[in-house]
């Protein structure tokens, strides 16, 4: 969809009006010069770049795909030129530390740019997107020498980065990995092994790629406690940090995938490649979580991107496509039929897309602001609270927003009817590209176990209570707003139920450990619907306040916000009723058949 428009007005509503973004950035220190005007100017320029340079390459990149020959990967036509413009314009360095050539803006600014570029062309956006995780990992755990060697090039975008975890025999269960790291006399390590499903693992956009690799040292403990983390560059840096001789890491092939054809998903063979230990020995998984948490938020952003893309394509089509007459009377008497946007079922799908995209946007923006706090000079107490909020909400965002993003992408195809099933319109590509989001960086099931097992039960409910206190404070502050009364009451009731259902599952799990796994995905989705209800109630409160201002000139915009919030509470939040029923049903029916007795 080359005519994609970045939803700047909605982004500004979320940032300026709901979240008071620039004030929050200035308050935590270090970003005193960031103003609403400066933010708007950056958003405007970023939107121009992605609309003009990236969106037109989305379908052509999907059709051409990446090409592999003798270990070399060529990206689709136009990708490298767009990447060069991205680097030349300084977009790669937006949020990086000025010490390494960055512009020193809040980390959340890169999230906003990623939202735009991902909506326009997710396959392209993955190339610079993965570099942020590599940059964050080296910043957090690298030595001064490693920072001086790699951060400047990653900051500028001259080099890109990857995350190398998965192996042919192990994905989520990293305790099974076999890649080994043997000490060299010079303090480096010889890395031997094969990694698969490595996004952007080989390409022609830059002259070097910095791989962040999990491997085992000799005599390391078994399982996840014996994993270390290494920097393994494609080209070994010279003393002046320019890319030097080729390292022993090569792309054996690229995957032929369902979607994201414009991004190379690689098999990487490490044949004695020189690697450099980052962080303490046998603590690699702990260090890698710096990368993985950034990637999980980035994947949550993918769900938002595909929901927004699907909504924009669907809305344009629904306004123009003529089919049948409205059941309440002709809406377009001069034409042989009415546009399909008048039909309730089409409205249902459009409103679902809109509610998930705009609610997800507020959710992502609020988490990005938490990241700002954790990486700022704020007090330890404030940073601790932001970190705990992220711990609880990151798995919800990753899984819930990708599940609802895929639902929204499917609604887009459905609205197009038969035209959606062919390539011409780009909505079938949106479905294909979106599907991976529920798999990588931890599947929905893995995120659900992390949420319920580690974050909620593991904290004895502490993380959940902290977030519910935030929601309760909002509800108390808005109890006297008659226009908001129904939403506040519903949100308050759902939060009480959230605590109750959590206690029930925890109690059942004390006698049957399978109860956590049986309830976890339903629990995560249930949690996601309540979090988005909180976001939509905040949006409704903001819209009502704006409409009460006698100087308001955007009545249609704010009334549409209120209508979308009401739709969410009427049509989407009630899905929690079914989820409560399935959670309360327990594990018995799931586990009743012995694994050996499954048959077909």
User: Does 371 lie in the same domain as 441?
Assistant: yes
pTM: 0.97
Domain limits at 305? 287-446
**How does pLDDT run across 377-386, given as a tens digit for each residue?**
889 999 999 9
Q: Helix or strand or coil: residue 464?
A: helix
What percentage of the chain exceeds 70 in pLDDT?
A: 100
Read off the pLDDT of residues 189-219 as tens digits, 9 standing for 90 and up. 999 999 999 999 999 999 999 999 999 999 9
Identify whether the C-beta of residue 243 lies closer than 8 Å to the C-beta of residue 152. Answer: no
Task: List, for residues 306-322, the tens digit of each pLDDT value.
Answer: 999 999 999 999 999 99
For residues 407 and 466, membership in a common domain is answered with no
What's the Cα-to-Cα distance from 181 to each of 83, 197, 282, rounded to whole Å?
33, 20, 11
Query: Which of left, alpha, beta for 199 (phi over 0: left; psi -120 to 50: alpha)?
Result: beta
Average pLDDT of span 417-444: 96
pLDDT of residue 334: 82
Q: Count Cβ neighbours within 10 Å for each residue of 384-401 and write b for 16 or more, e otherwise.
A: ebbebbbbbbbbbbbbbb
What is the torsion angle, in degrees rounded to the nearest 10, for the CA atoms of residue 175, residue 178, residue 184 and residue 190?
A: -120
Per-residue pLDDT, averaged over 427-456, amounts to: 96
CATH number at residue 433: 1.20.140.10
Mean pLDDT of 299-304: 96
Q: 535 and 427, same structural domain?
A: no
Among 249, 147, 239, which Cα is nearest to 198's?
A: 249
Q: What is the pLDDT of residue 478?
A: 96
Is 160 exposed, middle or buried, given 0-12, 13-18 or 19+ CB atoms closer than 10 A?
Answer: buried
* pLDDT higher than 90, residue 331: no
Predicted confidence at residue 6, as pLDDT, reads 98
- Residue 204 forms part of a structural domain: no
The pLDDT mean for the chain works out to 95
Residues marked as catalytic = 441
Least confident interval from 248-257, 283-292, 515-524: 283-292
Is residue 209 in a domain? no
Instruction: Identify the CA nearest to 483 among candidates 560, 530, 548.
Output: 548
The count of C-alpha atoms lying within 13 angstroms of the C-alpha of 90, restricted to the half-sphere facing its C-beta, is: 12
DSSP 223-250: GGGG-EEEEEESEEE-TTS-EEEEPSEE
- Taking 70 as the threshold, does the pLDDT of residue 2 lie above it? no
Over the range 333-357, which residues count as b (16 or more CB within 10 Å of their CB) and which as e? eeeeebbbbbbeebeebbbbbbbbb
Q: What does the radius of gyration of the chain's CA atoms come to, in whole angstroms?
A: 24
217 token code pair: 């040292």
What's the average model confidence in pLDDT over 451-477? 97
pLDDT at position 100 is 96
pLDDT at 598: 87
Q: Are 207 and 200 in contact (CB under 8 A)?
A: no
Residue 301 lies in a domain: yes
312 part of a folded domain? yes
Q: What does the pLDDT look like over 332-342, one tens digit per residue? A: 888 888 999 99
Average of per-residue pLDDT across 522-545: 98
Residues 518 and 573 in one domain: yes
429 and 515 together in one domain:
no
How many domains does the chain fold into?
A: 2
């Amino acid at each position: 969809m080359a005519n994609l428009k970045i939803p700047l007005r909605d982004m500004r509503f979320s940032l300026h009006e709901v979240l008071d973004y620039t004030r929050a950035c200035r308050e935590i220190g270090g970003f005193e010069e960031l103003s609403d005007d400066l933010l708007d100017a950056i958003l405007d320029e970023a939107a121009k770049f992605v609309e003009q340079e990236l969106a037109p390459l989305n379908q052509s990149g999907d059709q051409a795909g990446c090409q592999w020959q003798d270990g070399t990967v060529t990206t689709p036509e136009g990708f490298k030129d767009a990447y060069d413009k991205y680097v030349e314009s300084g977009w790669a360095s937006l949020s990086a530390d000025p010490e390494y050539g960055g512009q020193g803006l809040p980390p959340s600014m890169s999230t906003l740019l990623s939202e735009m570029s991902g909506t326009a062309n997710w396959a392209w956006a993955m190339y610079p997107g993965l570099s942020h995780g590599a940059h964050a990992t080296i910043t957090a755990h690298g030595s001064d020498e490693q920072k001086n060697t790699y951060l400047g090039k990653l900051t500028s975008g001259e080099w890109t980065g990857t995350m190398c975890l998965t192996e042919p025999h192990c994905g989520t269960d990293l305790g099974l990995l076999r890649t080994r790291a043997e000490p060299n006399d010079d303090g480096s390590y010889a890395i031997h092994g094969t990694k698969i499903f490595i996004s952007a693992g080989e390409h022609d956009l830059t002259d070097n790629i910095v791989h962040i690799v999990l491997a085992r040292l000799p005599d390391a403990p078994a399982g996840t406690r014996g994993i270390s983390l290494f920097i393994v560059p494609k080209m070994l840096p010279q003393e002046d940090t320019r890319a030097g001789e080729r390292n022993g890491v090569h792309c054996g092939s690229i995957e032929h995938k369902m979607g994201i054809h414009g991004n190379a998903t690689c098999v990487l063979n490490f044949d004695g490649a020189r690697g450099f230990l980052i962080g303490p020995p046998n603590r690699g998984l702990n260090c890698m979580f710096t990368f993985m948490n950034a990637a999980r938020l980035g994947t949550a952003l993918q769900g938002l991107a595909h929901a927004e893309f699907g909504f924009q394509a669907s809305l344009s089509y629904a306004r123009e496509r003529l089919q049948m007459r409205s059941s309440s009377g002709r809406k377009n008497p001069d034409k042989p039929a009415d546009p399909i946007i008048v039909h309730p079922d089409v409205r249902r799908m459009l409103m679902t897309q809109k509610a998930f995209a705009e609610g997800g946007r507020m959710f992502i923006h609020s988490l990005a602001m938490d990241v700002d706090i954790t990486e700022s000079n704020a007090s330890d107490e404030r940073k601790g609270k932001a970190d705990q909020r992220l711990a609880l909400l990151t798995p919800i965002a990753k899984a819930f927003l990708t599940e609802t993003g895929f639902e929204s992408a499917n609604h887009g195809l459905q609205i197009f009817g038969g035209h959606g099933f062919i390539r011409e319109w780009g909505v079938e590509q949106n479905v294909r590209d979106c599907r991976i989001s529920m798999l990588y960086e931890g599947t929905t099931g893995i995120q659900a176990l992390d949420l319920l097992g580690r974050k909620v039960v593991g904290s004895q409910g502490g993380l959940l209570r902290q977030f519910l206190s935030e929601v309760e404070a909002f509800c108390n502050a808005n109890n006297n707003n008659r226009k908001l009364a129904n939403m506040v009451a519903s949100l308050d009731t759902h939060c009480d139920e959230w605590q109750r259902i959590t206690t029930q599952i925890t109690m059942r799990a004390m006698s049957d450990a399978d109860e956590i796994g049986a309830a976890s995905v339903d629990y995560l989705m249930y949690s996601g619907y309540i979090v988005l209800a909180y976001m939509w109630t905040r949006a409704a409160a903001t819209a009502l306040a704006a409409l009460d201002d006698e100087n308001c000139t955007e009545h249609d915009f704010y009334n549409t916000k209120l209508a979308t919030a009401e739709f969410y509470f009427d049509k989407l939040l009630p899905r929690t009723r079914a989820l409560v029923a399935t959670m309360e049903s327990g594990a018995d029916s799931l586990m009743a058949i012995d694994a050996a007795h499954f048959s077909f």
